[in-house]
A and B are shown apart, each in its own frame.
Chain A
């Protein structure tokens, strides 16, 4: 099955900093989603991005399907950005999840 690897596993930044999170996957995919799981456990859809680039406010994502990776960019970080960021890809109608990047934004 598809393997999904995320890096870095942990990231601690000061408020206002920018960050790049990476997701590598081992095979071609029909679906790739980025989620933010906040400290209360809610999984929030950030992007549905099997290919190309999307932007939503301070967040943007790029997936290069031919090279099997996706990047999530967070600019001007805020404390509310803290949590775990998951990348998940679809295989046989189920999502295969990376281990996540735990992001802590310090005030």
Chain B
């Protein structure tokens, strides 16, 4: 069974530029999560989806971050414009409703210069 797939794995951009990350969850998983992880810390939740609905986006900085999961499968997280402080690893995880276990993708390491 394939795991959570994320792309790109690495991205370097200049500040004020836009950037997008893509996530394909494990087949059959209807819940999807985007996390941000800074070096030396645990992941921080940005947004949680159940199917195509964003059920918790309270920690998503909506002035510059947006996310979508149009068909309830793949998801895209976008930052526009990027700031230096956005440099981090962006992780996607998936699971199933009613089962709290989450499975993580390899992450996208973003560097903003």
Contact = CB atoms under 8 A, between A and B. Distances in A.
Interface residues of B, number: 18
B107 A95 contact: no
B48 interface: yes
Given A30-B100, A90-B100, A99-B41, A41 B56 contact: no
Central interface residue in A30, A86, A92, A97, by most chain B CB within 10 Å = A97
Task: Give the secondary structure class of A's interface.
Answer: strand
Interface string B60-99: 0000000000000000000000000000010100000000
Interface of A: 30-31, 33, 35, 40-45, 48, 86, 88, 90, 92-95, 97-100
B11 interface: no
Interface of B: 33, 41-43, 45, 48, 55-56, 89, 91, 100-104, 106-107, 109
